[in-house]
Amino acid sequence: MHIESVDFFYLSLPVIQDIGDGSQDALLVRVRAGSYEGWGECEAAPLPSIAALVCPMSHSACKPVAASVLGQPLDDRADIARISQLVRRNSLDLLQADHTLSGIDIALWDLLGKRLQEPVYRLLGYDKAYPKTAYASVLFGNTAQETLEKARRIRASGFCAAKFGWGPYGLGSVAADEAQVRAAREGVGPDLTLLIDAGTVWGEDVGAAAERLPALAECRAGWLEEPFVSGALHAYATLAEIANERTDFRVRLAGGEGAHNPYMARHLIVHGGISFVQIDTGRVGGITNADEVAHFARWRGVTYVNHTFTTPLALSASLQPFAGIEDAAICEYPVEASALAHDFTLESLPVDAAGEVRVPERPGLGMTPDVDALRQYLVPVEIRVKGELLYRTPEL
């Protein structure tokens, strides 16, 4: 069986707001081989990712991603690994390639699972999938009062864990951030797991981050996520040391969603002192690379967590790489996703009465894009180079 087509679909809400909600648009990927169809998603800027799929070759190490995928044999997981390596080698100098590959790799796993009638996590070598405690992932309110109300609603919805991030956090005073974190803790109550996401707001300013530790410790934050940009390993390592020296409560660090290859995640683990590595399969190069990170993290005693803020399809893809790791017990669960994300698939991935979510036991990713519903979100794109049509949105 050979890969016959790779189609990208740019989907979007009619109006994109200037807020941290990444579910306002999506890049859906469809791969066809033999009589099978696989679906994936790039968690990426759609237009540059489409351009990376179809662009003209610049030189031997700067080829369009499609050149390393179309026509390739696809019979087992070794084929997917080989395609991933091919893309890396042939598109070494094409920066956007990792994001473009991500959705394709996910679709290849979905397709292979459907063909072999197995959920992806089994193809990855796991015997069973453990349920994960879903943490409700939301943006901070614009005020502490708004955050308090959000937190109360999350508790009332039956979640056992919640994460607040972005919004005003880190942009104002230490006192304002303290009020936000206290409001979040008050709203979720004393027993829920509370996580805080700084969204890289301090760049590499260790001092600014360290000033927030007392409030985080007092409110028993389960982690402080992305205090710094992914590359600032020295800042991560220094803050981890400072946090570990506190005797009241140890605030652990989380990071890795910006990793667009397994190396970046490894660097945060080995050199950054993080305790949780958060991987978005839609960015890191897909399930193949995420699986590599999951194994590395386990070996190093770091907890793997998915990064997912968008659709149920992306959520299923993000859960597969650590589905069988029992002690990686929590998962990110989007609860403020857009109408687009909500309409995305025929199936849903609900949170049960125990606050847990389960990876589907259906073949592949077990999620079917609701193409009839998605057509209304389709953004038509046309790219012409030298008068030749390189890309036009295909039929969904």
Stretch near a copy of itself under the rule CB under 8 A, chosen from 143-151, 212-220, 248-256, 267-275: 267-275
Going 231 to 43 to 79 to 306, the CA torsion angle's sign is: positive
How far is 112 from 105, CA to CA, in rounded Å?
11
Asked if 264 is part of the footprint of a copy of itself (rule: CB under 8 A), the reply reads yes
Rg of the Cα trace of the chain? 21
**# chain residues binding a copy of itself, by CB under 8 A:** 69
Residue 205 binds a copy of itself, judged by CB under 8 A: no
Question: What are the b/e assignments for 97-115, b being 16+ CB within 10 Å?
Answer: bbbbbbbbbbbbbbbbbbb
Q: Is 108 in the site for a copy of itself (CB under 8 A)?
A: no
- Residue span binding a copy of itself (CB under 8 A) among the ranges 29-37, 49-57, 73-81, 298-306: 49-57
Token pair 């292979």 in the structure block, residue: 112
Our CB check for a copy of itself shows the closer of 267 and 362 to be: 267
Q: Do residues 178 and 170 touch, judged by C-beta distance below 8 A? A: no
Does the footprint of a copy of itself cover residue 16 (CB under 8 A)?
Answer: yes
Per CB under 8 A, does 341 bind a copy of itself? no
The footprint of a copy of itself on residues 61-80 (CB under 8 A) is 61-62
Of 61 and 346, CB closest to a copy of itself:
61
DSSP character at residue 141: P
> The tokens 């990855």 sit on which residue?
124
58 binds a copy of itself (CB under 8 A): yes
What is the rounded distance in angstroms from the CA atom of residue 150 to the CA atom of residue 199?
19
Does the protein bind a copy of itself through residue 60 (CB under 8 A)? yes
> For residues 184 and 223, is the Cβ–Cβ distance under 8 A?
no
Pair of tokens at residue 337: 């996703």
Q: Is 50 in the site for a copy of itself (CB under 8 A)?
A: yes
Measured from the Cβ of residue 85, the count of other Cβ atoms closer than 10 Å reads 12
Q: How far is the CB of 380 from a copy of itself (least distance, A)?
A: 6
Give 139's Cβ-side CA count (13 Å radius).
15
Stretch in the footprint of a copy of itself (CB under 8 A) among 32-40, 74-82, 108-116, 381-389: 381-389
Positions in the binding site for a copy of itself (CB under 8 A): 10, 12, 16-22, 24-25, 43-48, 50-52, 54-62, 85, 88, 92-96, 98-99, 166, 199-200, 203, 229-234, 258, 260-264, 266-267, 270-271, 283, 379-387, 390
